[in-house]
Amino acid sequence: MAVYFQKREVVVPGQLLAEGRYRASYGTYDEGGKIYSSLVGLAELRGNTVKVVALEGVYIPKEGDLVVGTITIVAGNNWKVDIGGPYGASLHANNALRRPYSDDISEYMDIGDVIAAEVIAFDRGGGPFLGMKGRGLRVLQGGMVLRVSPAKIPRIIGRRGSMINMIKDHLNIQTMVGQNGRIWIRAPSTEVLRLAIKAFRTIEDQAHTSKLTDRISEMLAEEMAKIKGSSEPEEEVEPEETSVPDEEAIPDTSEDVEAEPEPEVVEKATEEPEPETVTEAEEEKPAEVEVEAKEEDENKNEEVTEE
């Protein structure tokens, strides 16, 4: 019974981490009752479980992950979706549309469209398979997609969405943070978009440092004040910014009108998945759900999170 590492120590592959009644978890392996690291990362002990938090790595899909992907091929009643990492995903029309749907599914979503979807199945045999029957899962209109290292996503979301919500509060932007390291951002103006990118990049660079949320918050407050200040004399930027709150108040409906498939894709399954997601992955899921849920029905969402 012994642990051979300091908390949050940088460990290397093959390093002996613990011996005795400990359980090997992510980033470690067990050989003859001894637990070794299999990655470069930060070692952690939780209860009697040893794990290593990776500092690098590609995206490996997991069931239940929310991902942001780009449609690359429309094949029959499937869409092939690029979600980064070694595995291309497919999305079957049945998992995205309400029947009956047209034979030509490219009417609903076509090559190049960026979508938010959930990994519904992935095993060694096949997949990953995506689904879009969930709250907030939809075609992402406008905005841009930022790529960050998937290993840094938990930090960008923050504890129970603290980081991402903080950023959204400051910048008044719409975002979707995929577990696959793609972040969709739609900001009211280029300045704010740049600032959002800067914020995400900073988090990525400094993911393993302390008080990051506070520092980012300060930085954003400062920069936003600058943007507000500089944009006041100019008339062009100002109206754009003021128009944002209105737009955000009814984001889904406005988008649904733009894109024909939306009513079928989204609106239905709003009720059920909510409690389920919360129990599944407390601190990660709600963040993304909230992004979309917030404006629509803030009250209900809060109730669930408190549970």
Partner 1 sequence: MSPEVKPDFLISPEGLRVDGRRVDEMRPIELKVGVLKQANGSASIRQGKTYIIAGVYGPRELHPRHLTLNDRAYLRVEYRMATFSVPDRKRPAPSRREKEISMVIANALKPALFLEEFPKAVVDVFIQVIQADGGTRCAAINAASLALADAGIPMRSLIPAVAVGKADGKLLVDLGDEEDKYGQGDVPMAIMPPTEEITLLQQDGSFTREELQEAMQMGINSCKYLHELQKEALRRAYVKKAPEDGNDDDDEDDFEDDLETDLGEAELMEDE
Binding site for partner 1 (CB under 8 A): 7-8, 10, 12-16, 25-27, 29, 31, 36, 38-40, 44, 46, 49, 51, 53-58, 60, 62, 64, 85-88, 124, 151, 154-155, 157-160, 162, 206-213, 280-284
Which CB sits closer to partner 1, 67 or 237? 67
What the block records as the tokens of 273 is 């998945």
Q: How far is the CB of 39 from partner 1 (least distance, A)?
A: 6
CA dihedral (186, 170, 83, 104) positive or negative: negative
Residues in the chain: 307
Which CB sits closer to partner 1, 125 or 233? 125
Neighbours of 6 (CB within 10 A): 9
Which CB sits closer to partner 1, 156 or 187? 156
User: HSE-up of 184 (CA within 13 Å, CB side)?
Assistant: 25
Q: Give the whole-angstrom CA distance, residue 176 versus residue 270.
A: 17
- Which backbone phi and psi does 144 adopt, to 5 degrees? -140, 165
Helix pair angle (190-205, 212-231), 10° resolution: 160
**Of 120, 112, 109, whose CA–CA distance to 77 is shortest?**
109
**Residue type, position 10, single letter:** V
Which CB sits closer to partner 1, 54 or 259? 54
Which CB sits closer to partner 1, 130 or 193? 130
Q: How far is the CB of 223 from partner 1 (least distance, A)?
A: 20
Q: How far is the CB of 114 from partner 1 (least distance, A)?
A: 20
Which CB sits closer to partner 1, 282 or 298? 282
Q: What angle do CA 7, 35, 60 make, to 5 degrees?
A: 80
Residue with tokens 């029957």: 133
Q: Give the whole-angstrom CA distance, residue 189 versus residue 238.
A: 9
Q: How far is the CB of 287 from partner 1 (least distance, A)?
A: 10
Q: How far is the CB of 227 from partner 1 (least distance, A)?
A: 26
Which CB sits closer to partner 1, 14 or 112? 14
Q: How far is the CB of 272 from partner 1 (least distance, A)?
A: 20
Q: How far is the CB of 282 from partner 1 (least distance, A)?
A: 7
CA distances from 1 to 20, 21, 36 (A): 4, 6, 14
- Looking only at the bridges linking them, the beta strands covering 49-54 and 66-75 are unpaired
Residue with tokens 């930085």: 219
Q: How far is the CB of 204 from partner 1 (least distance, A)?
A: 11
Which CB sits closer to partner 1, 27 or 178? 27
